[in-house]
Structure 1
Amino acid sequence: MQIIIFKRPSWRNIALWGILLFILIAYRENVTSVFSGKLKPIYSTNVNTQAIGLTFDISWGEKTAEPILDILKQEGVHATFFLSSPWADKHQQLVQRMVADGHEIGSHGNRHVDLNTLGSGEIEHEITTAQQVLEQISGQKVRLIRAPNGAYDNKVISTANKLGYRVIQWSVDSLDWKRPGPGAVINNVLNGIHSEGGAKAGDIILFHASDSAPDTIQALPTVIQRLRTKGYTLIPVGQLLSEANSTWPPESNLKEEPSSTNK
């Protein structure tokens, strides 16, 4: 009769299994993405140039957008403005100035609600309602969208893709909406929130031009000038995508054209 002897696992093996479990938990989103086909928005791009995408979200407010437009005009910089359609409808002259100044108009939705809490039909209604308003006011074809609060899931991205949109996130967050002070906003962009190096070629920077972010007015000139000193150029996201070899993460599928009859 053969006797099977089970050895107690060593502390070393237990530690190794513990580390492996930690890694799987820490990177569960990436693991899920690989094995379940999770879709992703565009966080950044891979480019052979020194270009960086400059973006501003606006969903409310009366005081911040115009000074930011003045700064961008003075600096000769063009950006993408992701606008909620109610704000755009209320501030049509500012939207038209954005277009006249050479900026790109993107959608920030209709209601400022988390799209991933809605059904596919409701998501489509939110996107198309905003599109009608934004295109009528701006005269531009609007096909970039930043989901309110950055909230997304497969349903949001697939619905937007069906309508001919690319969902745009960000890789550099100014955190200007927290009102940390102009110096902190500058540092967040140039050096990174966790000192990971800050904005670099192919990145997409998130600012706000809503009244929730008054620090942006003081921080923006310094950010523009210092990035220029480093050799970078600031451009709208649409232009950045046209210069890109690919987008990050890979699930954002730059090369795959959206299927839509609404182009």
Structure 2
Amino acid sequence: MTFFYSLHIKKTKQFLLLVSLSFFTALLLFTQNLLSIPVFLEKESPKAIYKGENGIALTFDIGWGDEKAEKILQTLIRHKVKATFFLSGSWAERHPDLVKKMEKHHFEIGLLGYNYVDYTSMEKEEVKKDLLKAQEVFKKLQIEKIKLMRAPTGHFNKQVLKIADEMNLTYVHWSVDTNDWRNPGTSLILSKVKEAKNGDILFMHASDSAKQTNAALPQIVETTRSAGKLVTVSELIANGEVETKLIP
């Protein structure tokens, strides 16, 4: 009787050991398969860069106007400031002299499409056509190797990011919006700028709608310089880690 009882216990232990091994083997295989799913089934989606790590980037959008852009450009040159201009193709076509001046003084140039249109309300081919038209303008002006873009109205979605990626362009958003186009007064523009920290991308305008930006610019430069080194967007991206926005 004792022999039978001992044999029963031994077989039970063997059975439990076999079950345990089978369970852990199955768990290991399941975990490996689970970890491999993202690699094979999902490619990382394109993202919009809105922040960097080392430096502060001043960015200016220009879509129209004949007066403010030149004054802002002169102020930046006088203060020996690096900045990035996002230019619409239609504006660049009408102001080739200012575009050349930007290039001469080593300002960075990014695309702002050709027309002032909302990319989020357009079909993919229409968006691509607008960007290609803008690229053609800059090619004629012998401004090449443009790698950055921003949507004309600032509005973007997953489709816009995908198009940028397909065209080998980096979509650039911003982390500090000065709201200068609303012309709220230089003190309010500066209060927004004072929020800027190392790594931020500031959003401003050099179109004629921004009537107070140039008046505030010397103080903007002084304030941002005290918070971090002023760099172009490309330099900000190259200087370290970047923060991005993913559109679902």
TM-score when normalising by structure 2:
0.78
Q: Which deviations, in whole Å up to 9, do the C-alpha atoms of 1:25-64 show, x marking residues without a partner?
A: xxxxxxxxxxxx875411112x2x3x01110000001110
Distance 2:165 2:46 in 1: 11
What displacement does 1:140 show? 2.9
Q: 1:108 to 1:162 in 2, by over 3 A?
A: same
Q: Any residues of structure 2 matched to 1:38-77 within 5 Å, and which?
A: 40-45=47-52, 47=53, 49=54, 51-77=55-81
What displacement does 1:227 show? 2.2
Q: What one-letter code is carried by the residue in structure 2 that aligns with 1:113?
A: V
* 2:244 alignment counterpart: 248
Distance 1:138 1:81 in 2: 16
* 2:193 alignment counterpart: 189
Q: When the two structures are aligned, how many residues end up with a matched partner?
A: 205
Q: What one-letter code is carried by the residue in structure 1 that aligns with 2:114?
A: N
CA contact (8 A) 1:55 1:81 kept: yes
CA contact (8 A) 1:42 1:170 kept: yes
* 1:27 alignment counterpart: none
The percentage of counterpart residues that share the same residue type is: 37
Match for residue 237 of structure 1 among 233, 238, 241:
233
Q: Secondary structure at the match of 1:245?
A: coil
Greater helix proportion: 2
CA contact (8 A) 1:58 1:84 kept: yes
Q: What one-letter code is carried by the residue in structure 1 that aligns with 2:242?
A: S
Q: Secondary structure at the match of 2:81?
A: coil
CA RMSD of aligned residues (A): 1.8
Distance 2:139 2:164 in 1: 16
Q: What one-letter code is carried by the residue in structure 1 that aligns with 2:151?
A: A
Distance 2:124 2:209 in 1: 30
Distance 1:95 1:43 in 2: 25
Deviation >6 Å, runs of 4+? none
CA contact (8 A) 2:59 2:203 kept: yes
* 2:200 alignment counterpart: 203
Bigger Cα Rg: 2
What displacement does 1:69 show? 0.9
TM-score when normalising by structure 1:
0.74
* 1:193 alignment counterpart: none
Q: Unpaired runs of 5+ in structure 1?
A: 1-36, 191-197, 253-263
What displacement does 1:245 show? 1.8
Q: Secondary structure at the match of 1:142?
A: coil
Q: Unpaired runs of 5+ in structure 2?
A: 1-43
Q: What one-letter code is carried by the residue in structure 1 that aligns with 2:223?
A: R
Q: Secondary structure at the match of 2:58?
A: strand
